[in-house]
Amino acid sequence: MKTGVFGRGRIIWLGLILLLWSVWLYMTRSKKLNHPQKMNIISNIGLSLFNDLQTVGKFTPEMARLLVAQSAHETGNFTSQLFKEQNNLFGMRHPRIRKTYSIGEKNYHAVFASVTDSIKDYKIYHTVFNYLPYYSSVSTFVEALSSRGYFTAPKEEYKKGVSYFYDLYFSENGK
């Protein structure tokens, strides 16, 4: 039994095609619309940190880029509880021996009064452990951190995370 000019089978196929086209259109449109919003969040936090690392920490621009990428990786792109509640940009522990800007300890990590104090403390850490003022790539930077036991994650995993944020913030394709 036919229903109208097209028949029941054709109506179902047209409906499926229309549904698939609508889903495809929604998915491609939502990716385009969400991208600028994501980049605004990155610009507000990461690029502000980039400037502070140069002015407060006296890091070179290239070193500041590496440190933004490292910090974004360490803090889940500045969303971690450690960053939000303790102003801890780099997952630093409260030091027992060296000079520090940490005002205490919570859950085994340093607590800072401000993000600026976290930057100042990291500068001291770099000086005490004799890090170079400049690294030529994410790989050489992560290798230096690894050789000093800075992180406990597998080296390639850590490098992948820092590289991801470096590219996201500073590569032409990421912007």
For residue 9, pLDDT over 80 is answered with: no
* Per-residue model confidence (pLDDT) at position 10: 72
State mean pLDDT over 97-105: 93
For residue 101, pLDDT over 90 is answered with: yes
* Tally of CB atoms within 10 A around 46: 20
User: DSSP string covering 107-168, please?
Assistant: TTEEE-SSHHHHHHHHHHHHHHTT--S--SSHHHHHHHHHHTT---S-HHHHHHHHHHHHHH
State mean pLDDT over 68-90: 93
Mean pLDDT, the chain, whole residue set: 82
For residue 175, pLDDT over 80 is answered with: no
* Per-residue model confidence (pLDDT) at position 134: 74
**Percent of the chain at pLDDT above 90?**
47
* Per-residue model confidence (pLDDT) at position 67: 93
**Helix or strand or coil: residue 64?**
helix
Taking each helix axis as running N to C, give the angle between helix 48-55 and helix 61-74, from 0 to 180 degrees, rounded to the nearest 10: 130
Answer for the pair 111, 102: CB distance below 8 angstroms, yes or no. yes
Using CB atoms within 10 Å of the CB of residue 175, give its burial: 0 to 12 exposed, 13 to 18 middle, 19+ buried.
Answer: exposed
34 confidence band (pLDDT: 50, 70, 90)? very low
Give the chain's domains with CATH numbers.
Answer: 38-170 (1.10.530.10)
For residue 157, pLDDT over 90 is answered with: yes
117-127 pLDDT, tens per residue?
Answer: 999 999 998 88
* Per-residue model confidence (pLDDT) at position 38: 43
State mean pLDDT over 90-107: 92
Quote helix, strand, coil % in the chain, to nearest 5.
60, 5, 35
State mean pLDDT over 63-74: 93
